[in-house]
């Protein structure tokens, strides 16, 4: 795992989050939490490797790494919302986290495509949902709900990333 990619993702998130912050003063960008994010990431990475993988596995695949990135960003509390309204659902952190996971996965997937002499992808396409919502909106709600129930599962999230990639291979 190349940790400079983690730092690059973090820096990109900070730049984009600060744009949102300029339009809403209640948004708090905790850009100083990179060390916490990295620690959570490394701990989660090691836990998945030790608890869920065969001892012969040296490195986790991109789907698991993307899932660990998503969950680590959420746990590091990258974005907060300062408001009197305690009932307000602040979903922006989940949007940023999922986007960062997708960005990492696309980066790695494109390297695989280049090595195979195939055309890279500009972005991932997503399947339609039965409820009519956009797939990304649905995934953000799932992350929000799972976080509120303390039910963040790296392997389930990795499976979601695997299915997104597989869907894109089929279209």
In this predicted model, what pLDDT tens digit does every residue of 42-89 receive, in sequence order? 999 999 999 999 999 999 999 999 999 999 999 999 999 987 766 667
Please tell me the pTM assigned to this model.
0.93
Contact predicate 49/102, CB 8 Å: no
The contacts of residue 76 (CB under 8 Å, 6+ apart) are: 30, 33, 36, 37, 40
Contact predicate 86/109, CB 8 Å: no
CA 68, 16, 37 angle in degrees (round to 5)?
30
Contact predicate 159/72, CB 8 Å: no
Tokens 């339009």 belong to residue: 23
Q: State the pLDDT confidence band at 159, using cuts at 50, 70 and 90.
A: very high
Closest to 28 measured CA to CA, from 78, 76, 68, 75: 78
In this predicted model, what pLDDT tens digit does every residue of 103-154 receive, in sequence order? 999 999 999 999 999 999 999 999 888 877 799 999 999 999 999 999 999 9
Per-residue pLDDT, 102: 96
Contact predicate 90/24, CB 8 Å: no
Going by their DSSP bridges, the two strands 79-81 and 27-29 should be labelled as antiparallel
| Per-residue pLDDT at 97 exceeds 80 | yes
Contact predicate 71/154, CB 8 Å: yes
CA 92, 96, 99 angle in degrees (round to 5)?
135
The contacts of residue 22 (CB under 8 Å, 6+ apart) are: none
Mean pLDDT, residues 89-107: 94
Of 156 and 5, the structure prediction assigns the larger pLDDT to 156
């Amino acid at each position: 795992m190349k940790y400079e990619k983690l730092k690059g993702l973090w820096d990109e998130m900070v730049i984009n989050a600060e744009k949102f912050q300029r339009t809403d003063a209640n948004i708090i960008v905790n850009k100083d939490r990179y060390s916490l994010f990295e620690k959570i990431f490394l701990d989660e990475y090691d836990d998945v490797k030790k608890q869920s993988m065969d001892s012969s596995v040296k490195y986790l695949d991109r789907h698991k790494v993307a899932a660990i990135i998503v969950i680590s960003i959420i746990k590091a509390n990258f974005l907060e919302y300062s408001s009197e309204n305690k009932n307000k659902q602040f979903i922006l952190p989940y949007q940023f986290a999922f986007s960062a996971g997708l960005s990492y996965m696309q980066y790695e997937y494109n390297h695989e495509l280049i090595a195979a002499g195939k055309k890279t992808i500009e972005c991932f396409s997503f399947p339609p949902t039965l409820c009519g919502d956009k797939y990304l909106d649905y995934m953000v709600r799932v992350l929000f709900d799972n976080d509120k129930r303390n039910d963040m599962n790296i392997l389930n999230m990795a499976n979601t990333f695997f299915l997104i990639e597989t869907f894109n291979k089929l279209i």
